[in-house]
Structure 1
């Protein structure tokens, strides 16, 4: 009887075990190789070299694109936008991956026409002598930030204050653009002595950073992941121009500053300032534009913005005009019409108008044009606009990005005047000339202060800043104004400092003025063949 009982128990256990195994087998995913791969392509017609790929396959969970130069791109959804830098015929391999590591592949051929050829001066700026290193410009405000997509204001939502991201894995990175098209990202430039050490850390956006391998133990602050271990690496780079916007395109996982996923393209928003680039890129969620200011100056180099460089006290934007409309905003600006008294006191030869021939807003810029044109007894017309009674302020930083007119006799100015004028006489109200330029002396710009005892030929003048390209390139002109000091700058470099005090008129409200004069006491003789020339202003901003 006992023996029979044991046999029955054994049979029951066997049935239970068999049933359990059957249930386990039913719970396993069936391994199926992806099939029916199709790849559609849309080749851009603007000569930018961009191709939109879209792969589809039955039973696929992710896709990988493999390009002829060895570059690869994983695209979980199958869609991927790739920028080719040269014209030609290309064969691209597409791999579809299924469960259990199974895969199948196909190839697709594309013919590319690239119409854009980057200017040599831009390539020279990026490459330098072949070992030129770029870095995040940690010393300046808004060197890193984010804002709405396609917005023209740098880092509208958030702009990092100077050195705000120390210790995150961003500031010790270096970026090298080599002439052969390779992009080198050094992830820690502080550990390469006496021997090169490829180990370092980087900084990036949560979830996107998983594309670099992730980091379970890294510190997370909000949506930022700090100090992700990542070695030096090499990718490829090219300058393309989708929609006419010069853009640095990086291959593979190549990135700059802060990893945001996306297409790894960085539009050169502003490349006009020597040794500096302002870039923006759209993240992989198509949610934000991310902004970066780069510099090729070493933080310890003489003349760079290091510990001894100028640091603004003002970082909050309180007033601005970026000229994004189709006409001058008369809620912000006034037109001044006429020639004033004796050419506004300077014997100037122009008559100021509000005509669109002389002042207009176009393509994101304010354009003030001086023309040889008869008007009200004068041989030239131009424009002068002010913020009097519409925006007046005491203390702050004024920043104006402008390209200046050319030609003998031109006299453009970006300046400020005491708000009590004309009720109070000049120079008692005070005058701050942020920038003056004379076409008859095209190799310098100047700044000045006018007040009682220091006006006309006795004004407080700074060093004559030597320039070469202010009529062909945009530059940033600034004044930093406090109760203790007034500092004038061009592209962040100071060229005039004045100790302010209670004895000066520079402690009350002032307003802004923009104009292009012709001839006069400073503009001098006007060329016989002069016809017209313009001052273009990208933006005017006030910070407090």
Structure 2
């Protein structure tokens, strides 16, 4: 029995110790009392009982046993105010009544609140912006699709260097063109009108709106991506101007970064791209160009940027480029100009990936400037362990470019197995392996199909034997000079011989043809495209009169 008593006492002691360890103290719980709120309408006088038109009201809350306060305003705003003081600007034009609720928090998380009403006058005006928007009557605006960053997104935070620019993403020119999932964006017509002194707005979306993926369900979509969806955006909206209170306005240089004027659209109005927002901050505006910024609905960490002009975008422009930016006329005899060209040497990996039979050199017997022409000569001779020699020049690291017109006046080699090419390769090929880097073949010719010129694009899904290609028979390509040309724009890549179009491919953001490429000139022998080499072949050259690039 004594043993049991000892065990019982010992167990009781353990339980007592355990209970002591779990005896947490929560501290006092204090409910704030005596909560009061005062409101000072800025500029209020007997003659101006609703203030001076600034829309500003200074609030002060006091209470006993309080830790912090929060203000909730009926216009949708809210503010934490540890000391109970808040300066609020109400932006709706005219005399308007607002409800203001103050929540006072005490120890233990308990809270109490009080509500009051204020009636405030706001007469914010930006008459110049209205004039720019409407030209005094009515004006149509369109996406500035030809500009880099006409659509973009960036942070909405206190980073003063980046919170006023699309730092995360900038659309390339006409990026959304050419695709049924996005091209509807450029069909938008935004009309601002002045009707009896009131600013009005109407969006003609052509029947479809480009939705941000986060809001595509509103248009009936479920793809998980941005998409053009049928949507009725008709109806005239009222537009109220107001002063901006964005993070940009808090920047030290905000006067250089934003106009500080808000466009507030009624009835869910929006400016073309659906991001769940109806309030846009004008960053800049002139008679023919406007950039706005809008915080994304449902994600206040992001701000979207839209740029518009008064010129309608042409999604399928006949683009030409006339400013000569780079060239080689090959007027100096000797080796090619080292400031413009470098060499690929050897036979590459598996014959440059095509089972080619030549060894590339930089010997004068294979590549030389002579008599006003560059001559790249393929020869039947032992070279580097192969039975043929030739040369391959490229502008990589010397001249890379995005978009433009390339013209190469050339006379092609002759003979079964010859495979001359004038082409371009994506400059990021080392980190974005072919075909993801993209390839534009301005001219390819094989001696086994004399006079048949090929123009081809290689990219994911369309490469190698499945490349996107066109061809045309051109007389006398090995006895006469012809101009082989590519016009490469955000909307398309068009390939010509002289003035004859032989192939055209629409360009869009899904393709790799919206970044830097460099030029390549070479004559290969045999391989998967060059085919069987004529046993009688001894040597033949591609002669190039000039290479010119315009932008």
Alignment TM class, shorter chain as reference:
0.3 to 0.5
Normalised TM-score (structure 1) = 0.43
Normalised TM-score (structure 2) = 0.42
